[in-house]
Amino acid sequence: MINSRPDDATLLADETKYCSFGDTVHYVEPPKIFDGCEGSYMYDKEGKAFLDLQMWYSACNFGYANERLNNVLKKQIDTLPQCASQYLHPTKIELAKTIAQGMEKRFGYEGRVHFNVGGSQCIEDSLKLVRNASGGKSLMFAFQGGYHGRTLGASSITSSYRYRRRYGHFGDRAMFVPFPYPFRRPKGMTAEEYGEHLVAEFARLFETEYHGVWDPKVGQAEYAAFYAEPLQATGGYIVPPRNYFKGLKKVLDQYGILLVVDEIQMGFYRTGKLWSIEHFDVKPDVVVFAKALTNGLNPLGGLWAREELINPQVFPVGSTHSTFASNPLGTAVGLEVLKMTSETDYEKMVMDSGAYFLEGLKTLEKKHKEIGEVDGLGLALRAEICTEDGFTANKALVDKMVDIGMSGDLDWKGTKMGLVLDIGGYYKNVITFAPSLHISRQEIDQGIELLDQLITRAKKEL
**pTM beyond 0.95, yes or no:** yes
CA–CA dist 104, 109 (Å, integer): 5
pLDDT at 401: 98
CATH superfamily, domain 8-65+345-461, is Aspartate Aminotransferase, domain 1 (3.90.1150.10)
| pLDDT averaged per 10 residues in sequence order, the chain, 462 residues | 80 96 88 97 97 98 98 98 94 98 98 97 98 98 98 97 96 97 97 98 98 97 98 98 98 98 98 98 98 98 98 96 95 98 98 98 98 98 98 98 97 97 97 98 98 98 93
* Residue 367 host element (H or E): helix 346-367
Domain 71-343: CATH class, spelled out: alpha beta
CA–CA dist 58, 269 (Å, integer): 10
Contact 462, 455 (CB under 8 A): no
pLDDT at 3: 59
What SS3 class is residue 149? coil
pLDDT at 1: 44
187 dihedral zone (left: phi>0; alpha: psi -120 to 50; beta): beta
**Residue (of 251, 246, 198, 263) closest to 223 by Cα position:** 251
Q: Could you please report the per-residue DSSP string of 231-290?
A: SBTTTT-B---TTHHHHHHHHHHHTT-EEEEE-TTTTTTTTSSSSGGGGGT---SEEEE-
List the chain domain ranges.
Answer: 8-65+345-461, 71-343
